[in-house]
Structure 1
Amino acid sequence: MESSVNLGPSCPACKEPWLRPSTLPGRYRCVYCLHRFELLSVCPDCGEHGTIVRMSSTADMRCNHCGALMLTEV
């Protein structure tokens, strides 16, 4: 009997599932490798503007247009 546990979103740097919201709005931190990330309002791949959900722990970190990750390392 195998059960999958969702530990949260994966870190773009180390690929481990330990990306957590920081105390600053729109900022995230990996508790495994300690890299810090900021949620962008403009997609770095296609340039599409997206709305940032700043205070939600379930914020969408992917572009709605092309599916690219909208996080950049700080």
Structure 2
Amino acid sequence: EVDAVFVNAILSGIQLRNMERAWKKPVVDRIGLIIEIFNAHAFTKEAKLQAELAALSYKKSRLVRVLGPDGRYTFGASGEA
């Protein structure tokens, strides 16, 4: 059983969303994996803050415009349906 898919490339938010929908599994690209590794190894307060800042910046770049139920565009995370 596969729990997640790791892609050795930098993916856009739309690519991540489409792959997650097709495979019904979380997809992590190269930068996402690097950020997860930094988060796991951040022990000092400063390191944790730097890792969190990098994670937020990465997540912000992965937001995609989606059409809401009211017919207006809004921003959603790549994994949202």
| Greater helix share, structure number | 2
TM-score, normalised via structure 2 length: 0.22
Q: Which one has the bigger strand percentage?
A: 1
Larger Rg: 2
Query: Relative contact order (alpha carbons < 8 A, sep ≥ 6): 1 or 2 greater?
Result: 2
Name the TM-score, length of structure 1 as normaliser: 0.22
